[in-house]
Amino acid sequence: MDALDERTIHPAFRGESELVIRRLEKLEEWRAKGIEPYAWRYPRRDVTEEIRRRFQYLEKGQESDYVASLAGRLMALRRHGKACFADLLDGWGKLQLLASVDSLGETGYELFQELDVGDWIGVEGPVFRSRRGELTVRVSEFKLLSKSIRPLPEKWHGLKDIELRYRQRYLDLLVNPEVKQKLLVRAKTVKEIRRFLDQRGFLEVETPMLHPIPGGAAARPFVTYHQALGENLYLRIAPELYLKRCLVGGLEKVYEINRNFRNEGISYKHNPEFTMLEFYWAYVDYLDLAAFLEEMLVEVVKGVKGNTSFTYQGSELDLSPPWRRVTLLEAVSDAVGEELDSTTPPVRWKELAEKRGITVEEGWGPGKIATELFEKLVEPEIWDPTLVMDYPREVSPLARAHRSDRFLAERFELIVAGREIANAFSELIDPIDQRIRFEEQARMRERGDAEAHAVDYDFLRALEYGMPPAGGLGLGIDRLVMLLTDSHSIREVILFPHLRPEG
RNA sequence: GCGCCCGUAGCUCAAUUUGGCAGAGCAGGGGACUCUUAAUCCCAAGGUUGAAGGUUCGAGUCCUUCCGGGCGCACCA
């Protein structure tokens, strides 16, 4: 077959590398032989993992009379003249193939030699163990299922370029096995969480992603526009206010595992869209939730990893309960070396913060400053799972005030390896109090705080009908999976993390 | 948003320190080879060094701007 020239190459491929051009030629060669290089179907009967398990017993050089039928992608070709070893990768793993003149005949073997690494094929043939001990299928028949016209990344070094790994995640998945491993851990984690909650009578619900008023968290939202209604909508920053409406409606235990969107910076622990679990449970408070979270995480982590201690980024992490508990004020007091409590005057808070290089912005009360001090001085230093109890009420507009200290809210966060994994509170169910908190937030918004909570009057009306006392908890799925997969970056556990559009 | 670093063949990397002919392995092409598994051996080929401009006799290398990315900080979960 003549080389393709400029006229016969599809315009899309002009300027492509010789490797691509060569493969386009091969594509035409298959067609010239009357073989369609993109098959409709292949009735494969076996998968590699199952074959591997079934024929474990074969001795070196021994051949079974079972004719395997496999399909997958060719990942390597080792040609030896009249015989050729190949690696076939399917969804379960790799298995070696041996094609030879003996098994395929002259014509068949010649055709096999036309295959490239990356091509999808179906094969049939008896299973045997090679002299070197590798379980192998002796190819007696094969079929090209899909021709690959772009070369795969190099087999030994693989794909290292981080940008390419994320942009072309399918290649990353193909050549870097740990990528798939991490996805499996992620899927298993979510499944275990669902199982845990389902078993305890929680109902999984789906609440809106498009919100007329973004609420449930302090964050800048993404704005979008509804043509027919002629109004702005916001991609949700949290499902909280809708899940609480469910409790007003009489659902006593609800949860949702879904995406939240926050229009903020991107970092190793932040992606603009991320997955959260939120659950709400009638008649319990934040102390019940703390115990429940311990139980849940232990069961989930055991289910996924087999035990509760493992290595994260080179250090040992042990999630077995009971976890250390410390109040936020205690932690901050320790960090600054001075007893601080809800009676500490605002000026003192301000002095302490400024001494630590924290710029105190207008409108920050002692609660906000205490939280800032905590996040700056304490949180990054926490390694072992720690329940930080009793956040200031000022920074918790949806949480119930603490029963014995109005400066505080009944709220805790679970901190592991320097980052927040979960956030929970006794929910604020008093509609009057909630209205006051919203109004405080609205004043902050007016002062220019784009992350302050917007007033949601429909939510207030729901509360006015009566919401049962309840505890609610949010857990960052991505961050939990980061811990379980020993991933430094959140992008490692998100299949297609956000990148700028390709230039 | 700010700071530091990076961008060389399809992939993984040299050459940058001190400006002086852009190189290797893998992949691809030709040849040899029926038990290899990073197969091996021989031969040939493969490049707008992210883009544009500048300095210079000469720029992958130095300077400026832009594009893309990584890391750190800030914001946040």
Q: How far apart are CA A244 and CA A256, in angstroms?
A: 12
Give me the helix-helix angle, A477-484 and A286-305, nearest 10°: 40
Please name the nucleotide lying closest to A500, CA to C1': B68
Which of A48-62, A246-260, A304-318 is predicted with the least confidence, judged by mean pLDDT?
A304-318
The reply to whether A136 has its C-beta less than 7 Å from any atom of strand B is yes
- Phi and psi at residue A13, to the nearest 5°: -105, 0
Protein-contacted bases of chain B (C-beta within 7 A): 1, 9-13, 25-29, 32-40, 46, 67-77
Residue identified by tokens 């390419």 is A164
How far, rounded to the nearest angstrom, does the alpha carbon of residue A280 sit from its chain's CA centroid?
22
Q: Find out whether A353 and A373 touch, Cβ atoms under 8 Å.
A: yes
Predicted local distance difference test score (pLDDT) of residue A314: 82
- Alpha-carbon gap, residue A159 to A167, rounded angstroms: 12
d(CA A184, CA A167): 20
Mean pLDDT calculated for residue range A206-214:
94
Residues 434-463 of A with CB under 7 A from strand B: 451
Please give the pLDDT value at position A3: 44
pLDDT digits (tens, 9 = 90+) for A269-302: 888 889 999 999 999 999 999 999 999 999 999 9
Q: Give the 3-state secondary structure of residue A414.
A: strand
Q: Between vectors from CA A379 to CA A376 and to CA A380, what angle results, nearest 5°?
A: 80
Would you state the pLDDT for residue A264? 81
Q: Is A187 left (phi over 0), alpha (psi -120 to 50) or beta?
A: alpha
In whole angstroms, what is the distance from residue A87 CA to residue A97 CA? 6
Across the strands, what pairs with A255?
A: A204, A279
Residue A128: CB less than 7 A from any atom in strand B: yes
**Does the C-beta of A275 come within 7 A of strand B?**
no
A16 contact to strand B (CB, 7 A limit):
no
Contact between the CB of A157 and strand B at under 7 Å: yes
Indicate if CB(A98) is under 7 A from strand B. yes
Residue A1: pLDDT band with limits 50, 70, 90: very low
> Is the minimum distance from the CB of A264 to strand B below 7 Å?
yes
- Residue A260's pLDDT is 93
Q: Is nucleic acid strand B under 7 Å from A489's C-beta?
A: yes
Nearest to A472 by CA among A202, A208, A258, A229: A202
A237 closest-nt by C1' vs CA: B77
ipTM reported for the complex, 2 dp: 0.87
Handedness of CA A286, A291, A294, A298 (dihedral sign): negative
Q: What is the pTM of this model?
A: 0.91
- What is the spatial distance between Cα A398 and Cα A469, in angstroms, rounded to a whole number? 13
pLDDT in tens, A435-487: 999 998 888 888 777 778 889 999 999 999 999 999 999 999 999 999 999 98
Three-state DSSP class for residue A464:
helix
Name A144's bridge partners. A121
Q: Which nucleotide is nearest to A359 (CA to C1')?
A: B74
A423: nearest nucleotide, CA–C1' criterion = B77
- Nearest nucleotide by C1' from A87 CA? B37
Q: Which residues of A36-75 are buried (b: 16+ CB within 10 A; e: fewer)?
A: ebebeebebebbbeebeeebeebeeeeebeeebbbbbbbb
Average pLDDT over residues A36-52: 96
- Asked if residue A503 keeps its beta carbon closer than 7 A to nucleic acid strand B, the reply is yes
Q: DSSP per residue over A194-237, as a string?
A: HHHHHHTT-EE----SEESS--SSS-PPPEEEETTTTEEEEE-S
> Are residues A477 and A275 in contact, defined by beta-carbon separation less than 8 angstroms?
yes
Q: What is the pLDDT of residue A8?
A: 61
